[in-house]
Each structure stands twice: as C-alpha cells, then as structure tokens.
Amino acid sequence: MNMHFIFALIAVFFMVYPFAFYPIVLRILIFLCKTSLHSLDIPQSKQEDLPVIAVLISAYNEAQYIEDAIRTIIDQQYPKYEIHIGSDGSTDDTVQRVQSLQHRIPHLYIHDLSKRGKNAVNEYLIAHSTSDIIVHIDADVRLKPGALYAMCSRFIDEEVGAVIGTSTDAPIASAHHEHEEEHSSYRNLEFKTRSMESALASTVTSLGHFYAIRRTYRKSLPNDRVCDDYMPILHVLMEKKRVIADPHACAFEVREMQPGTEFKQAKRFAACGMASVLEARKLLLPQYGMIALFLWSRKMFRWLMPILYMKAMGFALIAWMEDSIGGQYLFFVLSGIIVLSIPGFLGIRIMPIRQACMFVRLQISLLGAWLHVLGSNASSSWERT
C-alpha cells in the first residue's frame, strides 16, 4: 500500500479519534477498572459537615442578570455561604442593583473595581474572600435545585480538589431550533465523556460558568492568556487531586447566543484553553497516566484537527500523484467537504451543506486560535453579543 496514503489515513484517524474512538476507549477502561471506579452518586452529608463556601461572580455590565444570579444562589438554601460580586468597571447600574439587595441579604458583598480584566477581578475576589471552598458562577447562570449541595458535598472527600457542574438546556423557547438541537447533541456527548473520565480518575475539562475549587490548590493565574476557569483545574490536576464533573450540580445559561457568534466564541475558548495547557504542559507527559491520556484525547487532538486535516489532504494528494486510487478518493472527499461548505457561507442552510459549513468554520476558528496563542495575545476579555 502507498505509504503517503497510509500517512493520510493516520491523520484522518486522529481527526475523528476524539469524537468516535475516544468514548470507546473510555468504555473499555470502565470495564477493565470496574472494581475501582469512583461513584458519582450524591454524597449523603449532614448540614454541619458541609464546608463553608464563598460564591464569586465577576461582572461587567450585568445589570440585566445580576439580581436573578444572586437569587439563584439564595434559593439553593445552602447553609453556610458568602457572596462576593466584583464589578470590572461596569458602566451600567450593576453595582447599584447589588447594593439595593445588601440590606436584605447577609454576607453579600459588592466590590466596585476599576477596569482591570476578568482574570484580575477573579484574583481580587479570591483574595477578599476567606472560605476554603471557592465557587465561581457567571451572572447569566441559573442553578437547578440542589446544585450547590451536590457540588460542595464532594469536598468532604479530601482527594477532591475541584468540581465542575453540568450544563443543561435553558427552559426557554428559542427561535434557533437547529442550532439548539446541535448544541444539545454536543453537550450530551460531553456529559457522557466527562462522567466516564470522572469515574475513572478526573475529568480534564472545565465548565467556566459553574465550578468550585479548594482554596488550597488555587494558585495565581500566570498571565492574561490563560483561562480563568481552566487554569485552576489544571493546577489541581498537577497536584494529583481529583477533578469531578458532577452530574447532579446542574446549571443553565439564560443569555442566548446569537447565530454566527458560536465560532468566534469557539476561537476564544480554544485559544485560552491552548494557552492554559501550554502552561501546564507537564500534564501531557506519560507519568501523569490517565490524565495525560485524557488531555491528549480530549483536548490536543481536537485542537490539532485543522493541522491534521491539511496533512491528510497533502498526503492524499501526493499519494494520488503516485497513482494511488485510495489517495485520489480520499483527496476528493476531503476537498469535497470544503467545496460543499461554500454555499453554507452564502446563507444556504440545508443538510449536508450546513454540516460541512460548520465543520470548515470550526477548522478556521481553531487555526485562528493557534495564531492567537502563538502571538501571545491576551484572552481574558469580556465579550457581549
């Protein structure tokens, strides 16, 4: 068989591996390790055993959402908490709305800060709170009943260093049914993968809008390129403590994403994720065992997809020039996806044009993310759609 065609097939394999084969690898590991799996059932804890928590919200012009964000925390009826809101130079009445609630809600604090960026606001809030367990939520997030209890009761186990919540669909009508359906399918795949990782060892992902971390393992963010929510998770993993994706700590976002902005957001998320993993690159080494396997499978191969795609096309083209029929067919398939996507960029949204367009736009977003990271650009910015 033509060697360049084999190289092209290898590149294609690693392109689809994170989505098609990695879940199978996890299921095999679950079967092999079934006697040593970690339970994801909610720990049954007495109220007096629950840790004291500090719930932190970094906000920039969140007047529309901030009051309901505070209420969603109060409604949890968690017994021991304080709430710290950090306004990053908001120009609306975010600060005033929080101040109007302070006389009715004990342990609610507002920090009216000058403009400094989200990472710096988080650092400030952590320094001005005292609880051992730090819970981060976004202003546009609403918690399902029992979410805080499920999340924070995990910390009774000293081996748990961080817990991320589970993102669910918002209980609101949306005019963008096709996008919502695709988003839910992807979210379902992510949920299953995170759960299997958590049962085996630790998940290697984050959920930026709702997660908790033990203060002991929370280190200062090294720069403005890393993710404010992902770098702390990687710090916990480097301390060889567990990170759990809790299936019972459910939350949803009420701010609707506008059509067409998901790829810009994907670029920004990928860029700060790449920068974070580069800061914690020793986790990719074999001595970290399953964590290294999870990171390569879950993150690195996904981020490398556009590079693998270009390599697959290049090797297939060379194989075709060497009279390989397989190389010719593979080159037609890979280039055909790009050609098929073009009408999608012009607004045609029928299947399979829509799927091809989404795939190509994702590759463009990831390439943009690599350029962003290699250019050492900051990622800790606020974006509103």
The per-residue pLDDT for range 254-271, each reduced to its tens digit, is 987 665 566 677 788 899
143 and 240 share a domain? yes
Confidence (pLDDT) at 92 = 94
222 plus 323 within the same structural domain: no
Pick from 251, 239, 193: which is nearest to 213 by CA? 239
Residues 378 and 309 in one domain: yes
For residues 68 and 120, state if they share a domain: yes
214 in a structural domain: yes
Helical H runs in 201-261?
230-238
Same domain, residue pair 155 and 11: no
145 and 194 co-located in one domain: yes
Residue 272 falls inside a structural domain: no
CA angle 357, 24, 192 (to 5 degrees): 70
* Residue 101 belongs to some domain of the structure: yes
Same domain? 20 vs 139: no
Quote the pLDDT of residue 168: 86
302 in any annotated domain: yes
Is residue 119 within a helix (H) or strand (E), and if so which, with residue range? helix 118-127
Residue-level pLDDT at 71? 96
350: containing domain:
1-37+292-385
Task: Please indicate, yes or no, if residue 42 is contained in any of the structural domains.
Answer: no
Same domain as 305, residue 239: no
- Structure token pair of residue 335: 């280039």
Confidence (pLDDT) at 286: 95
Is residue 267 assigned to a domain?
A: no
Do 98 and 219 lie in a common domain? yes
Query: What is the structure's pLDDT at 258?
Result: 63
The angle formed by the CA atoms of residues 33, 39 and 300, to the nearest 5 degrees, is: 65
Same domain, 163 and 97: yes
pLDDT tens by residue, the chain, 385 residues: 799 999 999 999 999 999 999 999 999 999 999 999 999 998 888 888 899 999 999 999 999 999 999 999 999 999 999 999 999 999 999 999 999 999 999 899 999 999 988 889 999 999 999 999 999 999 999 999 999 999 999 999 999 999 999 998 766 444 444 445 555 666 788 899 999 999 999 999 998 899 999 999 999 988 888 998 999 999 999 999 999 999 999 999 998 766 556 667 778 889 999 999 999 999 999 999 999 999 999 999 999 999 999 999 999 999 999 999 999 999 999 999 999 999 998 988 888 998 999 899 999 999 999 998 888 776 655 555 4
Q: Which residues contact 379 (CB under 8 A, 6 or more apart)?
A: 224, 225, 226, 227, 268, 271, 272, 275, 372
pTM recorded for the entire structure: 0.89
Q: Which of 256, 284, 315 is the last residue of a domain?
A: 256
Decide which of 210, 232, 256 is a domain's last residue.
Answer: 256
- What CATH number does the domain containing 174 carry? 3.90.550.10
Domain-embedded: residue 77:
yes
DSSP letter (8 states) at residue 132: S
Pair 24, 77 in one domain: no
Structure tokens at 377: 């650009």
Query: What SS3 state is found at 141?
Result: strand
- Number of structural domains in the chain: 2
In a domain, 264, yes or no: no
Which of 236, 256, 276 is the last residue in one of the domains?
Answer: 256
Distance (Å, whole) CA 129 – CA 134: 9
Q: How far from chain centre, in Å, is Cα 32? A: 28
Comparing CA positions, the residue from 263, 247, 244 lying closest to residue 183 is 263
Task: Fill in the amino acid letter for 302.
Answer: R
230 and 337 housed in the same domain: no
State how far the Cα of 37 lies from the Cα of 307, in Å rounded to an integer: 35
